[in-house]
């Protein structure tokens, strides 16, 4: 993963907007981790997006160069010396990334103030992949500083990085392709399980509110 071109995702957005089963006028985006960060980038640069929900996503571009037309956003730098490895060889990378508010890192901060949608940040407060709560707080500050509406931020104590649909088993550690070794994702099983159940409801309510204008429960379909 060296470069990602937003035109690729723009093609998908336009396809969905023209689909006969999509109500419109806009669509919703849902992403987790790097996918959440990509959703922020899509919402910031592409048209036709009404609501964006990200689960433990970043507000800085990470891992690869992002390109859209004549715009280039470099990846946020990192320092491998800040990675801790336990006796089992599993890495804790939560401190590896640089601060996107300082120095060269500012160039990696995604201009989410350009977005014309509402945001929902789902945050696991025991996320060990990166500092998701920090990203959500700074994203919220950034939006409000530019006159945008305050996003919804829902934090879950004891929840790790992979907040998936309800009843998926918690993923405590697995191989991280960018790091090249197993990493710990964080989370306490019971708290993480409860977070997955509640987050699923929060996400559905968010999309019902901003995509249909109806409260959740009025229809089985979004």
CB burial string 122-149: b at 16+ within 10 A, e below: bbbbbbbbbbbbbbbbbbbebbeeeebe
**179, burial (CB in 10 Å: exposed 0-12, middle 13-18, buried 19+):** middle
CA distance 197 to 145: 32
CA distance 212 to 222: 7
Q: Which of 33, 41, 44, 58 is catalytic?
A: 33
Q: Which of 41, 127, 140, 142 is catalytic?
A: 127
Q: Which of 41, 126, 140, 161 is catalytic?
A: 161
For the question of residue 146 being annotated catalytic, the response is no
Of the candidates 82, 102, 99, the one whose C-alpha atom is nearest the C-alpha of residue 91 is: 82
Phi/psi of residue 33, nearest 5 degrees: 60, -125
For the question of residue 88 being annotated catalytic, the response is no
For the question of residue 19 being annotated catalytic, the response is no
Q: List, by residue number, the catalytic residues.
A: 33, 127, 161
């Amino acid at each position: 993963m060296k470069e990602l071109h937003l035109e690729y995702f723009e093609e998908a957005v336009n396809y969905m907007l023209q689909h006969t089963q999509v109500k419109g006028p806009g669509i919703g985006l849902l992403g987790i981790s790097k996918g959440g960060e990509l959703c922020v980038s899509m919402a910031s640069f592409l048209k036709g997006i009404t609501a964006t929900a990200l689960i433990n996503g970043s507000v800085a571009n990470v891992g690869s160069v992002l390109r859209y037309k004549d715009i280039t956003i470099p990846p946020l730098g990192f320092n491998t010396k800040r990675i801790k490895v336990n006796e089992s060889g599993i890495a804790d990378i939560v401190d590896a990334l640089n601060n996107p508010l300082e120095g060269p890192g500012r160039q990696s901060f995604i201009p989410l103030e350009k977005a014309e949608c509402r945001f929902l940040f789902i945050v696991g407060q025991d996320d060990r992949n990166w500092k998701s709560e920090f990203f959500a707080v700074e994203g919220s500050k950034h939006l409000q500083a530019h006159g945008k509406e305050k996003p919804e931020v829902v934090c879950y104590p004891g929840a790790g990085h992979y907040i998936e649909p309800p009843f998926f088993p918690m993923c405590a550690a697995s191989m991280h392709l960018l790091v090249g070794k197993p990493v710990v994702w964080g989370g306490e099983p019971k708290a993480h399980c409860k977070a997955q159940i509640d987050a699923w409801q929060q996400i559905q309510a968010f999309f019902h509110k901003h995509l249909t204008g109806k409260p959740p429960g009025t229809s089985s379909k979004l």
